[in-house]
Structure 1
Amino acid sequence: MRAVVKIGGSLLRSAQHFVEAAKFLSSYESPVVVVSAVKGVTDMLIELYKTRYESLYEAIRDIHVEIAKRLGVSGVEPLLKELRAALELPEGPDVLDYFMSFGERLSATIMNGLLKRMGFDSKLFVAPIVTDDSFGNARPLEDRSLASEIDGHEGIAVVTGFIGRTKDGRFTTVGRGGSDYTATFLAKLLGYRQVVLVTDSPGVMTANPQEVPEAKILPMMSVEEAVEAARLGAKNFHPRTFEPVSGGMYVEVRNYWSRGTVIGNFYAPPPYKVVLRCGEGSCVVGLEAEEIVKLGGEYVSRFAAQVPMPPKWAHDLFVKPYFEKLVWIN
Structure 2
Amino acid sequence: MSLIVAKFGGTSVADYEAMARCADIVLANPSTRLVVTSASSGVTNLLVALAQTGLPESQRLALLKQIAAIQYAIVDRLPHNDEVAAAIDSLLTRIDVVSQQLQHEADKALTDELLSLGERCASILFAAVFRAKGAVAEAFDVRQVLRTDSHFGKAEPQIGQIREFSQKLLLPGLASRLLVTQGFIGADADGHTTTLGRGGSDYSAALLAEALEAEALQIWTDVAGIYTTDPRLAPNARPIAEISFNEAAEMATFGAKILHPATILPAVRQQIQVFVGSSKASEKGGTWIRHQVNNPPVYRAVALRRDQTLMNLHSLQMLHSPGFLAETFATLARHKISVDLITTSEVNVALTLDKTGSQSSGQCLLTEALLQELSQHCRVRVEDNLALVAVIGNQIASTPGICQRVFSVLAPHNVRLICQGASSHNLCILVHEAEAADVVATLHRALFEAP
In the superposition, the TM-score normalised over structure 2's length comes to 0.67
Determine whether 1:115 maps to 2:122: no
Deviation at 1:108, TM superposition (A): 0.6
Aligned with 1:88 (options 87, 90, 100): 100
1:304 partnered with 2:443: no
Larger relative strand fraction: 2
Deviates more, 1:288-297 or 1:276-285: 288-297
Displacement after TM superposition at 1:258 (Å):
2.2
- Work out whether 1:223 is the aligned partner of 2:252: no
Q: Determine whether 1:282 maps to 2:294.
A: no
SS at structure 2 position matched to 1:233 = coil
Amino acid in the other structure paired with 1:249 = I
**2:224 aligned with 1:211:** no
**Superposition pairs of residues 176-187 of structure 1, within 5 angstroms:** 176-187=198-209
- Number of residues paired by the alignment? 322
Partner of 2:188: 166
Alpha-carbon distance in 1 for matches of 2:244, 2:134? 38
1:257 to 270, 274, 283: 283
- Alignment equivalent of 2:166, drawn from 123, 144, 147: 147
Return the match for 1:266 from 285, 292, 300. Answer: 292
DSSP-derived class of the 1:243 partner: helix
Higher relative contact order (CA 8 A, sep 6+): 1
1:133 aligns with 2:150: yes
Distance of 1:286 and 1:123 partners within structure 2? 42
CA distance in 1, matches of 2:299, 2:131: 45
Q: Match of 1:327?
A: none
Match of 2:120 among 89, 92, 105: 105
The correspondence for 1:55, drawn from 48, 58, 62, is 62
Percent sequence identity is 27
1:104 aligns to what SS in structure 2?
helix
CA deviations on 1:126-148 (whole Å, 9 max, x unpaired) are 22311112222212112135423
Distance (whole Å) between structure 2 residues aligned to residue 175 and residue 138 of structure 1: 7
- 2:41 aligned with 1:36, yes or no? no
CA contact (8 A) 1:293 1:299 kept: no
SS of residue in 2 equivalent to 1:206: coil
| Contact 2:256–2:304, Cα closer than 8 Å, also in 1 | no
Residue type matched to 1:299 in 2? Q
Q: Whole-Å Cα distance in 1 between the matches of residues 300 and 37 of structure 2?
A: 29
The answer as to whether partners of 1:204 and 1:253 remain within 8 angstroms in 2 is: yes
Q: Alpha-carbon deviation of 1:163?
A: 0.9
1:124 aligns with 2:131: no
Give the Å deviation of 1:260: 0.7
Deviation at 1:319, TM superposition (A): 3.4
Q: 1:84: Cα distance to partner?
A: 1.0
* Distance in 1 of aligned mates of 2:444 and 2:421: 17
Contact 1:202 1:257 in 2 (8 A): no
Amino acid at match of 1:133: S
Shift of 1:59: 0.9
Whole-Å separation in 2 of the counterparts to 1:176 and 1:198: 17
User: Matches of 1:160 and 1:233 in 2, distance apart?
Assistant: 25
Give the match's secondary structure for 1:298. strand
1:328: which partner in 2? Answer: none
Query: For the residues of structure 2 that align with 1:209 and 1:300, how far apart are their CA atoms?
Result: 28
SS at the partner of 2:299? coil
> 1:81 aligns to what SS in structure 2?
helix
Paired with 1:274 and 1:174, the residues of 2 have a C-alpha distance of 28
How well do the aligned residues superpose, as a CA RMSD in angstroms? 2.1
Greater shift, 53-62 or 282-291, is seen at: 282-291
Q: Helix, strand or coil for the counterpart of 1:282?
A: strand
Q: Equivalent residue for 2:220?
A: 198
Q: Cα distance, 1:164 vs. partner?
A: 1.1
